[in-house]
Structure 1
Amino acid sequence: MVSAAPAAWPRRALERLAAEWLLLAFALLALALAVLDPQPLEQYRRWLRLPTLAGLLGLMIAIQGIRDSGLVQRLAALLAARAHSLRGLGLLLVAATALASTVLTNDVSLFLLVPLTVAIGGISNLPVLRMVVLEALAVNAGSTLSPIGNPQNLLLWQYGHLPFLGFAAAMLPAAATMFALVAALAWCWLPRGRIAIEAAALDGHRVSPALAALSLLALAGMVLMMEHGHALLGALLLLAPFALLERRTLARLDWLLLATFAAIFLGLGHFAALPAVQHALDGLDFGRPAVVYLAGIAASQLISNVPATVLLVERAPDTVALAVAVNVGGFGVAIGSLANLIALRLARQPGGMRLLHLVSVPFLLLCAPLVYLVTRWLG
């Protein structure tokens, strides 16, 4: 009987790893490309994008700490108790997610709002999976407006040397169109009934003030460090106090999510740099707005919108047109924007990937031509 537990551990580990199909698929892609097209070590370091991974780690630590403190559960109970209808609460969460993404970036917005949404769903009849899909769409729409709303905007804003407000004004027609579509979808898709709350949920949740304060300070500090380009230092500074004071929080982190993103960055970064891909791009006329728009969307669907931006930024003469394209490209398949994957991972709802595609792919097919017409008409 004593030897049964050690024997069972490898099997459980293998079963969990087998469920991580996205990690396995991109790890295999990265490995295959490394064998078929070996590159200098410096290239792999560049593709790995350590500052992005460090920023994600820091946010994960802070949000897990907020969850463990009980603060999210307390806020969820208060918010659910004061809402009048499921549709009203859902629209409030969607709007809050979009608004937060304009100033806190799309991933920070999701790290804040998705756990709150899941907590509300745990004590009420709020349809959590629908809400998470809507929030994934909302951060893509909201972050489009701001130069610091997402990594691709930040890159293009700095590359194009545009004023902050000038970039936001240029992106406003696209962002407004995208959010109007998300709001219309939320209005039609969310139920109109009243919120049914479990009575026990209103009795209050225990909150650890010390852990809540530490985690909130960690979140604010991490956002500031990311804003000033010191994500790696910020993550290291967070690891120390949590390792000393809250080891259980670190133990609960989704380390496989970090591994998944690392595999995605390596696999897609190498794929985008292949000579065949570069040769295909050489045959396109990026002086035409329609070519930039379609190329940005198509590349986002294949390699995600941040690598697509890196791939196309030196070829597209109009950085705003490329910004619109890659932001629209965040809709569609899940890999179009890494924020989609973060939202689904935070929610951990069965059937999440399937429902996201059932909604997001048709959404892209409707949104893409409409945004193009609006931006061309107002441009």
Structure 2
Amino acid sequence: MGRFHLKIWQIMLGGALAVLLTGQISPTQAFHAVDADVMIFLFGMFIVGEALVKSGYLAEISRSFFSRAKNPGQVVLFVLFGMGIGSAVLMNDTLAVIGTPLVLALAADRKISPKLLLLALAIAITTGSVMSPIGNPQNLLVAINSHMASPFVTFALYLAVPTILSLIAAYAILRLFYRTEFPAQEYAIMPATPGDERLTRLVKISLAIILLLAAVNIIASLVSGSMLVTLPLIAIGAALPILLFSEKRFAILRAIDWCTLVFFAAMFVLMESVWQTGYFQSLVSGAMLSSVPLLLGTSVIVSQFISNVPFVALFQPLVMQAGSGTAQLMALAAGSTLAGNLTILGAASNVIIIQNAEKQGETLTFFEFMKVGVPLTVIQILIFAGWLVVVG
């Protein structure tokens, strides 16, 4: 706005302060509106993600993983599926922060278009995060606020297959639009980079805790129909080895994404105030809440204007009040997430990727993103709609 550059967290905080200062929500209501489970989960996962970068273990994993890619086509496939699956575990915004310098280094080393790999990264972490309750913040809201008994199993059952098909579709679309970037050439093995051995050991323990507790929950939900360990407890459990035993704990704490935490706290306050007005509820029809295709389409479109996390915060209570089933909740999670593939503004992770890329002299324009994003999103929505109608 003119000479002022406003970041997403500043805009959301401004909105929250506006409704507080004008008395549209009381300080007590604002305090209770902030979802502690979500805040604790994000805090813990951000610590693990930052330690993963500072330890050098991420660079070690990427070298080992991407050294197997012998040509440009395989590099793009590895980015799509490696980052996609990774975002299902570490959350998409975390992968956006740590993945951008990784793919730009990969582009320079392998002589591949940075734009192609930045697009592959953005699409991968958006699409891959769909299939996990901890893959992105809006999925986390759906899993926690719906009191889902077995979120890992439910998300996998409803969303894993269409997610894999959507990643395959993404590869086909990228190959179509960047066909000149896929010549037949062979790559040498990438050089190793030294890391912090002590912090790496702690990070391995943290990742093992995440995987172990997730497995415990999956088994427990299959046996008893409920989770044994809550999602916030998983995140804090994973962060504890780093907080308790790492000499770099304070450097890690300083470096985590505090702005995103401010964004979420402010969003909960602002969305609670909007909800209390009843205005948003008056715009929504019953058909929209029960139809999987309509929910998917609405989620994609509206998320372009108010962002996917605030949209889910507003829309999920309506879906639940309407008595809609699990398929509708999954459509809400999937549609609001896939909105990030349509335009840059559809997901905060896209903005993070581009901001970090611009620091290194690379970027993606709005229309470069949409040229690939529009046809891809249409295909992905059709894939998810077809699957959810069948399994729902």
The Cα of 1:277 is off from its aligned counterpart by 0.9
Q: Deviations over 1:122-163 (max 9, x none)?
A: 544344453343233233433434556555556359556679
Query: Conserved in 2, the CA contact under 8 Å of 1:328 and 1:364?
Result: no
Q: Is contact 1:44-1:266 (8 Å) kept?
A: yes
Contact 1:117/1:131 (8 A) holds in 2 = yes
The aligned counterpart of 2:377 is: 364
Counterpart-to-counterpart distance in 1, 2:323 and 2:303: 15
Relative distance call for 1:288 and 1:20 in structure 2 (3 A) is closer
| 8 Å CA contact 1:58, 1:222 repeated in 2 | no
Give the match for residue 7 of structure 1: none
Whole-angstrom CA distance in 2 between matches of 1:176 and 1:59: 24
Q: Which residue of 2 aligns with 1:5?
A: none
Question: What is the Cα deviation at residue 85 of structure 1?
Answer: 1.3
- CA distances 1:74-129 after superposition (whole Å, capped 9, x unpaired): 44445555432122112112112233445565456656755643443454434445
Query: How big is the shift at 1:257?
Result: 3.9
Q: Distance in 2 between matches of 1:294 and 1:93?
A: 27
**TM-superposed deviation, 1:292:** 3.6
Other-structure match for 2:201: 213
How many angstroms apart in 1 are the aligned matches of 2:289 and 2:68?
A: 52
Q: Are 2:182 and 1:179 equivalent residues in the alignment?
A: no
Conserved? CA contact 2:303–2:336, under 8 Å: yes
Letter in 2 for 1:372: A
Please tell me whether residue 73 in structure 1 is matched to residue 79 in structure 2: no
Matched residue type, 1:57: F
Deviations 1:269-322 (A, max 9, x none): 543553211222267663445544444434433341542553433225133134
Q: Does 1:304 align with 2:308?
A: yes
Range moving further from structure 2, 290-299 or 321-330: 290-299
Deviating more after overlay: 166-175 vs 275-284: 166-175
Kept after mapping to 2: 8 A contact 1:30/1:266: yes
Q: Which amino acid aligns with 2:57?
A: L
- 1:85 is aligned to 71
1:30 aligns with 2:44: no
2: CA distance, partners of 1:137 / 1:130: 11
How many residues align? The count is 361
| Alpha-carbon distance in 2 for matches of 1:33, 1:266 | 8
Q: Does 1:21 align with 2:7?
A: yes
Q: What runs of 5+ residues in structure 1 fail to find an aligned partner?
A: 1-16
> Corresponding residue for 1:192?
182
Would the alpha carbon gap of residues 329 and 64 (structure 1) be closer, same or farther in structure 2, given more than 3 Å must change?
closer
Using the TM superposition, give the Cα deviation of residue 358 of structure 1 relative to its aligned residue in structure 2, in angstroms: 5.2
Structure 1 segment 1-379 matched on structure 2, within 5 A: 19-36=5-22, 38-102=24-88, 106=92, 113-114=99-100, 116-121=102-107, 123-146=109-132, 149-150=135-136, 152-153=138-139, 155=142, 159=147, 168-171=156-159, 174-189=162-177, 191-193=181-183, 202=191, 204-221=192-209, 224=213, 228-230=231-233, 233-234=236-237, 237=240, 240-241=243-244, 244-281=247-284, 286-301=289-304, 302-305=306-309, 306-314=312-320, 315=322, 317-330=324-337, 331=339, 332-334=342-344, 336-341=346-351, 343-344=353-354, 350-352=362-364, 354=366, 355-357=368-370, 359-369=372-382, 371-373=384-386, 375-376=388-389
| Structure 2: segments with no counterpart, 5+ residues | 215-228
Further displaced range: 99-108 or 44-53: 99-108
Structure 2 vs 1, CA of residues 230 and 270 (structure 1 numbering), >3 Å: closer, same or farther? Answer: farther
Q: 1:336: Cα distance to partner?
A: 4.0
d(CA) in 2 for partners of 1:250 and 1:162?
A: 31
Preserved contact between residue 77 and residue 123 of structure 1 (Cα < 8 Å): no
Question: Which shifted more, 296-305 or 165-174?
Answer: 165-174
TM-score normalised by L of structure 1: 0.73
Q: Deviations over 1:162-206 (max 9, x none)?
A: 79656644445643543332222233345214679899x73x422
Q: What is the alpha-carbon distance in structure 2 between the residues aligned to residue 240 and residue 163 of structure 1? A: 27
Looking at structure 2, the residues matched to 317 and 114 of structure 1 have their Cα atoms a distance apart, in angstroms, of 38
Q: Contact 2:42/2:235 (CA < 8 Å) preserved in 1? A: no
Contact 2:292 2:385 in 1 (8 A): no
**Cα distance, 1:31 vs. partner?**
2.1
How high is the sequence identity, in percent, across the aligned residues? 20
* 3-state SS, counterpart of residue 38 of structure 1: coil
Q: 1:194 to 1:312 in 2, by over 3 A?
A: farther
1:143/1:150 contact within 8 Å kept: yes
